[in-house]
């Protein structure tokens, strides 16, 4: 691992406001729903928002970079992070562990910035307990059939992994009502518009 999951803030981080508190936004939705693309667009339009980088035991996919998409760690390191209380939340997903390093999140929020977590359902439920003031947004696919199509089109995962992700997707979609806001990602532009409304007009 080339950098630590609890590494200090990059130099470019500047407080949005020294008086207003930051905000924690949780972004959840089944694998393949297009959360990543939606978030990428949001961050391009609002570069002041900080996206939390998770630690995971999953192998990097082609094109994924250490410290940019994830901190890729071994199981032992992940377990040590859990034991040391370094994760704000964590969960097992489709055979791998994923978790949010807490330190950078608190630092950013203290600096008055908005922080987005892109995490699965179990982690979002933990945040509801530990950080109830977080705004929790659920991204829905137009249908489960469409979701399966998108997962296959991505063709980054094995058949077995796709099957596990689809099974998990059914469970996640059934829990969408637990969230403050639900957005259907049918057209990317419309979903982005609804997301901006939820964040900035709320």
Q: Site residues (CB under 6 A) for ligand 5GP?
A: 31, 54, 58, 89-91, 93, 98-100, 118-120, 122-123
- Closer by beta carbon to ligand 5GP, 14 or else 92: 92
Closest by CA position to 142, among listed 39, 32, 27: 32
Sign, CA torsion 8/13/14/17: negative
Question: Token match 């705004």: residue?
Answer: 135
Smallest gap from residue 118 Cβ to ligand 5GP (A)? 5
Nearer to ligand 5GP, 20 or 39 (CB): 39
Smallest separation, CB 17 to ligand 5GP (Å): 26
Mention every residue, 6+ apart, whose C-beta is less than 8 A from residue 42. Answer: 49, 116, 192, 195, 196, 199
The nearest distance, CB 136 to ligand 5GP, in angstroms, is 13
Q: Which lies closer to ligand 5GP via its Cβ, residue 54 or residue 108?
A: 54
Closest to ligand 5GP by CB, 114 vs 138, is 138
Q: Which residue is nearest to ligand 5GP (CB)?
A: 123
Which residue, 97 or 114, is less far from ligand 5GP as judged by CB? Answer: 97
Beta carbon of residue 30, minimum distance to ligand 5GP (angstroms, whole number): 7
Rounded distance between C-alpha atoms, residue 46 and residue 12, angstroms = 15
Could you give the 3-state DSSP secondary structure of residue 197? helix
Find out whether 117 and 123 touch, Cβ atoms under 8 Å. yes
Nearest approach, Cβ of residue 167 and ligand 5GP (Å): 13
Tell me the CA distances in angstroms from 82 to 5, 6, 76, 79, 103, one per residue in order. 12, 13, 10, 5, 13
Minimum CB distance to ligand 5GP smaller for 22 or for 101: 101
User: Exposed/middle/buried for 182, CB within 10 Å: 0-12, 13-18, 19+?
Assistant: middle
Q: How far is the CB of 99 from ligand 5GP (least distance, A)?
A: 5
CB neighbours of residue 2 within 10 Å:
9
């Amino acid at each position: 691992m080339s950098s630590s999951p609890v590494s200090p803030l990059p130099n470019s981080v500047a407080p949005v406001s020294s008086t207003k508190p930051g905000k924690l936004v949780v972004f959840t939705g089944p694998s393949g729903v297009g959360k990543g693309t939606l978030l990428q667009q949001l961050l391009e339009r609002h570069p002041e928002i900080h996206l939390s980088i998770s630690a995971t035991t999953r192998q990097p996919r082609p094109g994924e970079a250490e410290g940019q998409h994830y901190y890729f760690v071994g199981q032992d390191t992940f377990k040590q992070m859990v034991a040391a209380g370094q994760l704000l939340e964590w969960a097992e997903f489709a055979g791998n562990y994923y978790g949010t390093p807490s330190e950078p999140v608190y630092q950013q929020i203290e600096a008055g910035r908005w922080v987005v977590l892109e995490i699965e359902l179990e982690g979002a439920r933990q945040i509801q307990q530990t950080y109830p003031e977080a705004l929790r947004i659920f991204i829905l696919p137009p249908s489960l059939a469409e979701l399966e199509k998108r997962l296959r089109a991505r063709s980054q995962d094995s058949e077995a992994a796709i099957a596990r992700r689809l099974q998990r997707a059914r469970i996640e979609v059934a829990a969408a009502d637990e969230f403050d806001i639900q957005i259907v990602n049918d057209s990317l532009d419309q979903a982005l518009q609804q997301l901006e409304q939820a964040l900035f007009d709320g």
